[in-house]
Structure 1
Amino acid sequence: MSFNDDVKIDTSQVGSGGSGGGPGGAVVGGGIGGIILLIIALIFGINPSDLPTTPGGGTSDQGQVQPGGTVDGSSFSECKTGADANKNDTCRAIATVNSVNAFWTTELTKYKREYTPAKAILYDGSTQSACGTASNQVGPFYCPLDKQVYLDVSFFDILSSQFGSSTGALAQEYVVAHEYGHHVQDILGLLDRAQQDPKGEQSGGVRVELMADCLAGVWANHASTTKVQSTNGGTTTALKPLTDKDIKDALSAASSVGDDSIQEKTQGRANPDTWTHGSSAARQKWFTTGYKSGDLNQCDTFSVATVE
């Protein structure tokens, strides 16, 4: 899914953190095995109690990236236009944040709800969130305690090299849109349902994750008509219309992070009782539901007897 060249990227919606000094927090098992285990546990996750914490337990504000603050203020200087987003993963992530925030700001007014744009912290190595240490071992997540999304852009490489996802643009944009789906859930008061019933094929945790997949699909449906800032001072549509390849890219990403797919690759068999995010088929199904309908109301994963 390509951005229109005349899109003006708004870097005020992101902050940066980390210094490239390597991963933070405890590594389960060490080495690449530990990285995979942590990503399995937390990929696209939103449960603060499951996130690694700062040394000594709990969380700390020390060193935390505050809204609007950056460790390296020039780190996004090359991200100016949609053309930049089409060439650079970091710029694409920022432009996607702009598009997703713009869409939900307008969309939630239809339901008489106010959407507060969430900042995304793009970091290199590790940084601190109010939910604990964010690192490239953890993968992207939404922290409800500080209302921010955390993403090490190198995760996109891990997604393709370790999990077999497509390297296409919409595969990456899906990751960002999924995390912002959790922010929408937070605003709607639905996020806590993941805590009440965290594991299992039909659990609340899985249903919250699949709802976020569906909300990412809703955004994708409207992405080519959502207005953002233009380089000429006005507004323009953010993205070009989706192609069949774009949809295949997103479905590839959704499939690659299904609980069954990950478990079969790492332990040789799937164990539905331990699932926290849903099967590959379910993740593809709910993204498709959101994309085809373009309707938030179709994303009620809690109203169905079974999620597949």
Structure 2
Amino acid sequence: MDFRDDANLDASQVENRGGGGRFPGGGLAVGGGAAGIIALIAALIFGINPGDITGGSEDPGAVQPSSDLSQECKKGSDADQSENCRVVGVVNSIQAYWQDTFQESAQADYSNARTVLFSQAVSTGCGQATSQVGPFYCPNDKRVYLDLSFFDDLQSKFGAKGGPFAQAYVIAHEYGHHVQDLLGTMNKVGNDSQGAQSASVRLELQADCYAGVWAKNAVDTGFYEKPFTDAEIKEALDAAAAVGDDRIQEKAQGRVDPESFTHGTAEQRTKWFTTGYQTGAPDRCDTFGGSI
């Protein structure tokens, strides 16, 4: 995943509230009993609203001080050398794509959503969250939250192969939720239902599809030297499969319960990312019509 060396990075799109430190204890925890399993499943497969797990709502202004990434992350060459700067480059590319797409379609105005890098815990517009929630998008403050230790857990706890493009897929998935928020999709369908054909599953699979759409068009944003390789796309597909509801449940409780699905199976997640990637067209990401 090579960035163009001369690409200008916009570090203002990423806040660093302690992210990248990989502090001990920042990983994902498994709770006991049925509630713990449900929380595990909800948290580990890219939950949207941490308030669903932690409860309550926090003042989005009550946050930890952010360190400035602008001196560290200036050019694409920096993104090839630093994990924090790679996040900046990925976020910049994703938002450049959606900015152009919204402008062309005239469906709505695209407004940037910041990514917040944090370690262990963070205060958000959706409530107080910990690393146990995993990466998530908060519609209340229009931010993506990411503890980089999640990517270590993706490999060690879920058996994903990992890699830079697996990280890019996760980030692109969360920005898919931002797109859904801007288009009003979230408000229309909600995200609190469960089940194999539920609105929640369809919402998550659409975000996977949107991630694939960005991947297909990423080189056109000007941040990458060349299209992604087959090996890089396999990193994304491997990550998507690793966090399928069926695999998470099998690992957590030894059985699969489709009635409690919230994000889709491994097969569905890879299918919809592939649909987005092969077509490169957001309008092919209609996961709400018919069977999924």
Same fold (TM over 0.5): yes
Name which of 112, 133, 137 aligns with 2:132.
137
Instruction: Give the aligned residue type for 2:59.
Output: D
> Structure 1 residues 49 and 257 mapped into 2: Cα distance closer, same or farther (>3 Å)?
same
The residue number in structure 1 matching 2:76 is 82
Name which of 65, 68, 86 aligns with 1:71.
65
The residue number in structure 2 matching 1:117 is 112
Partner Cα separation in structure 1 for residue 218 and residue 225 of structure 2:
6
Partner Cα separation in structure 2 for residue 240 and residue 297 of structure 1:
25
> Structure 1 residues 77 and 123 mapped into 2: Cα distance closer, same or farther (>3 Å)?
farther
Partner Cα separation in structure 1 for residue 259 and residue 77 of structure 2:
45
Q: How does 1:83-102 map to 2 (within 5 A)?
A: 83-102=77-96
Name which of 215, 219, 223 aligns with 2:214.
219
Q: CA deviation at 1:75?
A: 5.5
Q: Does the residue aligned with 1:300 lie in a helix, a strand or coil?
A: coil
Q: CA deviation at 1:285?
A: 0.3
Q: CA deviation at 1:82?
A: 2.0
Alpha-carbon displacement from aligned partner over 1:23-79 (angstroms, at most 9, x marks no partner): 79xx7738xx96x864521231224551313xxxx22227633xxxx7242466433
The residue number in structure 1 matching 2:229 is 243
Alpha-carbon displacement from aligned partner over 1:87-106 (angstroms, at most 9, x marks no partner): 33222111111111111000
Partner Cα separation in structure 1 for residue 231 and residue 118 of structure 2:
29
The residue number in structure 2 matching 1:297 is 283
Q: CA deviation at 1:282?
A: 0.2
Partner Cα separation in structure 1 for residue 25 and residue 139 of structure 2:
22
The residue number in structure 2 matching 1:208 is 203
Range with bigger deviation, 190-199 or 252-261: 190-199
Partner Cα separation in structure 2 for residue 159 and residue 216 of structure 1:
18
Partner Cα separation in structure 2 for residue 211 and residue 75 of structure 1:
31
Contact 2:30 2:40 in 1 (8 A): no
Alpha-carbon displacement from aligned partner over 1:243-262 (angstroms, at most 9, x marks no partner): 11011101001001100011
Range with bigger deviation, 182-191 or 125-134: 125-134
**1:281 counterpart = 2:267:** yes
The residue number in structure 1 matching 2:247 is 261
Q: CA deviation at 1:3?
A: 1.6
Identical counterparts, % of pairs: 51
**What's the Cα RMSD here?**
2.5
Contact 2:196 2:264 in 1 (8 A): yes
Q: CA deviation at 1:277?
A: 0.2
> Structure 1 residues 38 and 87 mapped into 2: Cα distance closer, same or farther (>3 Å)?
farther
Contact 2:209 2:275 in 1 (8 A): yes
**1:103 counterpart = 2:97:** yes
Instruction: Give the aligned residue type for 1:14.
Output: V
Contact 1:51 1:131 in 2 (8 A): no
Contact 1:79 1:85 in 2 (8 A): yes
Instruction: Give the aligned residue type for 1:256.
Output: A
Contact 2:54 2:127 in 1 (8 A): yes
Partner Cα separation in structure 2 for residue 295 and residue 284 of structure 1:
16
Partner Cα separation in structure 2 for residue 149 and residue 90 of structure 1:
14
Partner Cα separation in structure 2 for residue 296 and residue 139 of structure 1:
25
> Structure 1 residues 117 and 196 mapped into 2: Cα distance closer, same or farther (>3 Å)?
closer
Contact 2:50 2:136 in 1 (8 A): no
Q: CA deviation at 1:197?
A: 5.8
Partner Cα separation in structure 1 for residue 39 and residue 174 of structure 2:
17
TM-score by length of 2: 0.89
Partner Cα separation in structure 1 for residue 246 and residue 261 of structure 2:
8
> Structure 1 residues 134 and 89 mapped into 2: Cα distance closer, same or farther (>3 Å)?
farther
The residue number in structure 2 matching 1:157 is 152
Contact 1:64 1:127 in 2 (8 A): no
The residue number in structure 1 matching 2:14 is 14
> Structure 1 residues 59 and 18 mapped into 2: Cα distance closer, same or farther (>3 Å)?
farther
Structure 1 unaligned residues grouped into runs of 5+: 228-236
Partner Cα separation in structure 2 for residue 14 and residue 196 of structure 1:
26
The residue number in structure 2 matching 1:176 is 171
The residue number in structure 1 matching 2:52 is 50
Number of corresponding residues: 284
